[in-house]
Amino acid sequence: MRKELIKSIAYVKVSKYRTNVLLSIDKELKMPSEIAKETNIRINHVSKALKELKKEELVECMNEETKKGRLYKTTEKGKEIIKVISKKRNK
């Protein structure tokens, strides 16, 4: 496994918020409010986790110019990390 990928996996796994937010977005576009509802994480924590995941290039905002109703999706790098994390969880 690439060193950069391992670093990103550790970055996500160190925070249950980042882990749960990333796993929540896995296969579909979602708004922060939908993620909060699905994961039972307060919206302010979801927003912070999304900001951190975006900085690491694991998620991207599809409509950045919008103030309300922003939609997020996982990047290819984010999908790689989800594969690794969800393999470990399903064992």
pLDDT, tens only, 41-53: 999 999 999 999 9
The pLDDT of residue 76: 95
Structural domains in the chain (count): 1
- Given its phi and psi angles, is residue 2 left (phi above 0), alpha (psi -120 to 50 degrees) or beta? beta
Tell me which residue range forms the domain holding 82.
3-89
Amino acid at 10: A
The pLDDT of residue 24: 96
| Model confidence at 90: pLDDT above 80 | no
The pLDDT of residue 30: 97
Mean pLDDT of 52-75: 94
SS percent in the chain: helix, strand, coil, step 5 = 60, 10, 30
**Domain CATH for 53:** 1.10.10.10
